[in-house]
Chains A and B, each alone.
Chain A
């Protein structure tokens, strides 16, 4: 079946540091890949997505490239801010009906001044 593996957190960075959160996946077919972000006390928000191999999703300075050869979708940001502190979830959408999502376990990011 489908699965998503994320790097364990928490990740603690100083403001303006470079961020990488690793995500690898196992899936049949050609899934779409997503990064969702969850701020404290809130629901999940879509951060970015990629629907086919070599696509790069980007939003708010975050980027991730769909790498089919390494089955990866790592999240990166060149310079993090305190306001980026949140939990980040990698997810994939199964092919077929209903767009069911399979999530990773989430990575908590804490950015300090």
Chain B
């Protein structure tokens, strides 16, 4: 059973389009995250939700909007895609927020390519 799953695995789209990435975890965790990994492998937090409430919102363009319909799901919607949005996006989950030091479990990633 996959603990943290993301769809799609690959996403190729044109500039200006709107796209969504879905994430689901079956670990019963309360906290979920979105990270962006750029072409140099640098990994940076974008958003974090705890019990469906936004607790971290990094300096991310407002074209990016996370949505958590329930504790097991955290989706990422991106409007008006730009070339610089090309990256691998990772979803992760943990029982409690990061300061608790609970292990974060990562999904397999979604490779977004904007042409």
| Real binding pair | no
Measured CB to CB, the residues of A under 8 A from B are: none
